[in-house]
Structure 1
Amino acid sequence: MKNKRKSAGILSIVLILSIIITACSGGNSGGNGNAAAPDNASGTSDTNSATGADNEPAVAEEHDPVTIKFISWKDGTYNELYELFHKKYPWITIEQVPVNGQSIMEIIAALEAAGTPADVTEIDADLITFEQNGLVEDLTPYIDSSPIFQEASLPQGFFDTMTFNNKKLAVPMVDVPMWVLVNKDLLAKHGVDMPPNDWTYDDFREIAKKLTDPDAGEYGVTTQPEIQMRLLSTKAIADGHAANLQYMNEDFTQSVMATPDVMNDVKWLQEFVTKDGSMQSDAAATASGNVTREFINGKTGFAIGGDWVLPDLKKNAKFNWDVLPFPRGEVSQPGYSIYGPLSLLAGSKHKEEAFLWLSFQFTMEAQKWKIDQGANASVADPELTAYYDQAPIWQDKNIEAVKIAQKNAVIQPGATVPGWSEYNWNNILNEIIFGERDINDIIPETEAWNKKTTELRATLTQ
């Protein structure tokens, strides 16, 4: 079966090259929410957390040296993790193949054609396209026989967003968490206490109004797409209006964005601009010099951020900042997280060694290293939960909020949803909330996409 899949990958090179533009149109654009997870940009850790028995070489027997080609955007930031892996498996070296703005499918095809196939890749489009072209392995048999995976306690639904037709097509390279960023100096200036970790969406709105002083150029909320992209769809889950992020139903087959409850959620955030004045519209932000588009400028009270913002904030912020979990809604307090898909390529000549790199991501030393960079632990383990308290990146910050965000995280969908790149949930809501688009446009847009994804799913599962 694996040889058959490899042959399919090679024979489909021409097809792949012909569909690169359409297959990757959802890649990193903000237009459809199918952006690849941002790189963990905080570089090497402040301390070497990966010490002790876990970091000893896996076996003492002799092995022929193997080099694993890993297609990645990491741009040098994961060199330390590569070294930790090499220390554990001394006969295996990770060679990063840079993306450099190319389509990953194009890189795979070029390496196959040259006779030097890649082994592992991050994913820049939907996983279904990769699977349909025979490019990625079904990881199920590898995972089922892996001691590392058998010993790891993984969260419920861990593979939901990376499974299609009962095939596990990827594992998370990194679990990218998000929090509400808080400007504590602005809170203090306006006589507002730091909210507790069980704060509510009503608290969020009321505090945002208190922090707003247009004469001083200060606003409660940063004018950023992340507020709509992350906070609004999380609120829909928190209030029981949607089962999953991006307004998806329980089994990711339909959008509920056009339901009355979700449309009322959209109106709720729109009123921050049109009624409260605590968040600027796109036009107003542009007219005032775009200062309120960036939390780091110190002129806004709240923003949404993930691990990628931490290095810049720690280095350059001129004010006292902290983090809070996403607020509590009427039924729950979910958080928001992105998985960066990591797949084993069907054309790999070193599948056993390549899977060791995938499984290594879930060892204790790799998990601690990622916490040091600001990422979530993907494995549920008391030792990892306790490690948040030791991680230098979170010293003097609201560590309990970080733990809550990790515990309550809901994973962004999309990688295995048919037609996801055509689901216009992101652009339309930006245009409604920050612009002047009619909110009722949501209804025909959602109905059309629900019809299309249903039709596509039927063809893919035949």
Structure 2
Amino acid sequence: MKRRGHWKTALLLGIVLLFSVVMSACSGKNNESGGTPAPGSESAGTPGASASAPPSEEKHDPVTLRLITWNNTYQELYDKFHAKYPWITVEADLIGGADDNGIVEKTAALEAAGTPADLTWLMDFTPYLKGGLLEDLKPYMDQDENMKNVKLPEGFFESMEIGGKRFAIPFVDVPMWILVNKDLLDKYGLEMPSNDWTYDDFRSMAKAATDPAAGEYGLTNDPIFAGHFATAMAVANGSAPNLAYMNADLTQSVLNSPAVLADVKWMQELMTKDGSLPGNKKAAELGDSVSKFITGKTLFGIGYDAVLESLSKEAKFEWDVLPFPKGKVKQSTYHIYGPIAMLAGSKHKDAAYKWISFQFEMEAQKWKIDHGANASVISDELNAYIDQSPLWKGKNKSAVILTKDMGSIAPGPTIPAFSEYMWWQPWVSEVILDGKDPNSVIPLVEAWNKKTLQLRSEAAK
């Protein structure tokens, strides 16, 4: 009897063990197919379970992106991008100046050598579109989930589209401010103006702070006063619909109109009548003391990203910023949108697009604020960050925020032959800083207007 009972017990244990194995196998199959793990099993969280092990990191081949640019101040941002994408390195390929022809030549040379560039800064689409050198960014951006959640100013990307194709995007938004030497304000008994000051305020203060015997002048002899400041004034006065003296639909320059020429003459009188603007002849005699705001010898200068960093580190006097003054119609400042494009010949387009998309992430946006540019992305967090940025500590932060949304954006890439028209700056500079007859610009403007219309017509065929 004992032996028969032992046999029954062994048989029962065998059945139980077999049932356990079957159930365990079924449970394993359920886990593989996404089923819920059995409570208490290793795949439900027991240490050492293979199902809970993190996936192995995706491996990438190293990529070096070649960016053709005329600016070498972005290495820190390249490094931040590399920290996020360790397999991608951005290498700046510098050219001598902001010259689209030079970039096109460089692009062609690199492609011929079998080492094509991936990205480029540009000013005018015209020379690139002829050779089919630019990649349409719109398909990439339409599939970018991160970009779908970014809020940007109306028309931000559309300003760089032609025929439904987006050949570039604004890499950076560089605003301009009036720099104020607060030590000279005190010396000449002047008060810091409010942010809604006028061009008449600007002129009277500059004249009051001019004392040639002391080598001090109201205005820095900066060509930007003749270039960017003068065209912003034309917009503020209602003399021109757009910056760069362009008309409403960006097809013609109105620099040759009586209203604009009157504004240019007003600027010229800062030198010829008031003496607050030294002019090129006097500046040649006095040197850097009146040609650079950082010397502390001028009351007002022009501030933008490339100037502000050195000023914050090296100035020996107290300085601050103001928005450009109010004109007869509105208050407007000058913004530069730096276009960046992906080259069609790039062998690393996915990596190149990552660099483009990275520009609109918080880390990159805050870096740009810290270096004197605007945040392009509309965000309460970024507006609040201005208070935290070391660059703006103790400064007129309300002017910084006001300028962000105030004024006009410099037109450019979509206008045929715009890079040639950029010569309006020396045209106007010769009038304001050298005393040349304002009417001397008229034939130059008329010739360019004719050329840009002709190129526009040819492109439409």
Name the structure 2 match of 1:440: 439
Match of 2:373 among 372, 375, 384: 375
Once the two structures are superposed, what CA deviation does each residue of 1:68-114 show, in whole Å capped at 9, x if it has no partner? 41324477643332333233334x41230422539332332233223
Name the structure 1 match of 2:404: 406
Q: Which moved more, 1:191-200 or 1:340-349?
A: 340-349
Change (3 A) 1:376 1:60: farther
Change (3 A) 1:60 1:299: farther
What is the CA distance between 1:427 and its match in structure 2? 1.6
Q: Aligned equivalents of 2:277 and 2:225: distance in 1?
A: 10
Q: Would the aligned equivalents of 1:230 and 1:304 in 2 still touch at CA under 8 Å?
A: no
The one-letter code sitting in structure 2 at the alignment partner of 1:380 is: I
Q: TM-score, normalised by structure 1?
A: 0.82
Once the two structures are superposed, what CA deviation does each residue of 1:110-158 show, in whole Å capped at 9, x if it has no partner? 33223332222223x5222112211111112222222222111111231
Match of 2:185 among 187, 209, 232: 187
Name the structure 2 match of 1:418: 416
Q: Would the aligned equivalents of 1:128 and 1:164 in 2 still touch at CA under 8 Å?
A: no
Q: Which moved more, 1:95-104 or 1:447-456?
A: 95-104
Q: Would the aligned equivalents of 2:221 and 2:280 in 1 still touch at CA under 8 Å?
A: yes
Change (3 A) 1:236 1:60: farther
Q: Aligned equivalents of 2:454 and 2:411: distance in 1?
A: 19
Name the structure 1 match of 2:96: 101
Q: Aligned equivalents of 1:295 and 1:282: distance in 2?
A: 15
Name the structure 1 match of 2:452: 453
What is the CA distance between 1:172 and its match in structure 2? 2.1
Q: Aligned equivalents of 2:69 and 2:242: distance in 1?
A: 28
Name the structure 2 match of 1:86: 82
Once the two structures are superposed, what CA deviation does each residue of 1:266-301 show, in whole Å capped at 9, x if it has no partner? 111111111111111211222334521111111111
Q: Aligned equivalents of 1:223 and 1:115: distance in 2?
A: 46
Q: Which runs of 5+ in 2 are unaligned?
A: 1-54
The one-letter code sitting in structure 1 at the alignment partner of 2:216 is: E
Name the structure 2 match of 1:71: 67
5 Å matches for 1:306-455? 306-423=304-421, 424-455=423-454
Q: Which runs of 5+ in 1 are unaligned?
A: 1-58
What is the CA distance between 1:176 and its match in structure 2? 1.7
5 Å matches for 1:177-256? 177-256=175-254
The one-letter code sitting in structure 2 at the alignment partner of 1:121 is: T
Change (3 A) 1:291 1:78: closer
Change (3 A) 1:88 1:244: same
Q: Would the aligned equivalents of 2:308 and 2:372 in 1 still touch at CA under 8 Å?
A: yes
What is the CA distance between 1:66 and its match in structure 2? 4.2
Q: Which moved more, 1:96-105 or 1:399-408?
A: 96-105
What is the CA distance between 1:391 and its match in structure 2? 0.6
Q: Would the aligned equivalents of 1:253 and 1:417 in 2 still touch at CA under 8 Å?
A: yes
Q: Would the aligned equivalents of 2:231 and 2:244 in 1 still touch at CA under 8 Å?
A: yes
Q: Would the aligned equivalents of 2:67 and 2:120 in 1 still touch at CA under 8 Å?
A: yes
Once the two structures are superposed, what CA deviation does each residue of 1:329-375 show, in whole Å capped at 9, x if it has no partner? 12221221112221111112222221111011001111011111121
5 Å matches for 1:154-169? 154-159=152-157, 161-169=159-167
Which structure has the highest helix share of the two?
2
The one-letter code sitting in structure 2 at the alignment partner of 1:94 is: T
Name the structure 1 match of 2:29: none
Once the two structures are superposed, what CA deviation does each residue of 1:408-448 show, in whole Å capped at 9, x if it has no partner? 14222222211223324212211111113211122222222
1:113 aligned to 2:112?
A: yes
Q: Would the aligned equivalents of 2:68 and 2:93 in 1 still touch at CA under 8 Å?
A: yes
Q: Aligned equivalents of 1:66 and 1:333: distance in 2?
A: 49
The one-letter code sitting in structure 2 at the alignment partner of 1:305 is: G
Q: TM-score, normalised by structure 2?
A: 0.82
Please give the secondary structure, in 2, of the residue aligned with 1:285. helix
Name the structure 1 match of 2:124: 126
Q: Aligned equivalents of 1:365 and 1:288: distance in 2?
A: 43
The one-letter code sitting in structure 2 at the alignment partner of 1:83 is: D
Change (3 A) 1:72 1:397: farther
Instruction: Give me the identity figure in percent.
Output: 51
The one-letter code sitting in structure 2 at the alignment partner of 1:106 is: E
What is the CA distance between 1:318 and its match in structure 2? 1.5
Q: Would the aligned equivalents of 1:241 and 1:262 in 2 still touch at CA under 8 Å?
A: yes
Q: Aligned equivalents of 1:290 and 1:245: distance in 2?
A: 29
